[in-house]
Amino acid sequence: MPELPEVEVTRRSFAEQIAGAQISSVFLGKPLRWPLGVQPDALLGRTVQAVRRRGKYLLIDLDQGMLMVHLGMSGSLRFAPALPPLGPHDHFELATSRGLLRLHDPRRFGAVLAVTGQDDPVAAKLLGALGTEPLEEGFQFDAFFRALRHSSQPIKPLLLGGKVVVGVGNIYACEVLFLSGIRPTTPASRIGPARARRLYQAIRDVLQRAVERGGSTLRDFSAADGNAGHFQLEANVYGREGLPCKVCGKPVKLLRQGQRSSYFCAHCQKP
> Which residues lie near Zn ion (CB under 5 A)?
245, 247-248, 265, 267-268
Are 186 and 154 contacting, i.e. CB atoms less than 8 angstroms apart? Answer: yes
Of residues 55 and 181, the one with the C-beta less far from Zn ion:
181
Q: How far is the CB of 241 from Zn ion (least distance, A)?
A: 13
Of residues 177 and 268, the one with the C-beta less far from Zn ion:
268
Q: Residues 56, 78, 102, 156: which is the catalytic one?
A: 56
- For Zn ion, the nearest residue by Cβ is 245
Buried b (16+ CB within 10 A) or exposed e, 94-132: bbbebbbbbbbbbebebbbbbbeeeebeebeebbeebbb
Of residues 13 and 236, the one with the C-beta less far from Zn ion:
236
Of residues 48 and 245, the one with the C-beta less far from Zn ion:
245
Q: Residues 3, 6, 8, 93: which is the catalytic one?
A: 3
Are 18 and 101 contacting, i.e. CB atoms less than 8 angstroms apart? Answer: yes
Where would I find the beta strands (DSSP E) of 118-271?
253-257, 260-264
56 is catalytic: yes
Q: How far apart are CA 169 and CA 90, in angstroms?
A: 25
93 is catalytic: no
Q: How far apart are CA 182 and CA 213, in angstroms?
A: 26
Q: How far is the CB of 263 from Zn ion (least distance, A)?
A: 11
Q: How far is the CB of 178 from Zn ion (least distance, A)?
A: 8
Tally of CB atoms within 10 A around 23: 19
Q: How far is the CB of 231 from Zn ion (least distance, A)?
A: 23
241 is catalytic: no
Q: How far is the CB of 246 from Zn ion (least distance, A)?
A: 7
81 is catalytic: no
Residues 6+ apart with CB under 8 A from 70: 33, 56, 57, 58, 110, 111
Q: Residues 33, 52, 198, 260: which is the catalytic one?
A: 260
Residues that are catalytic:
2-3, 56, 260
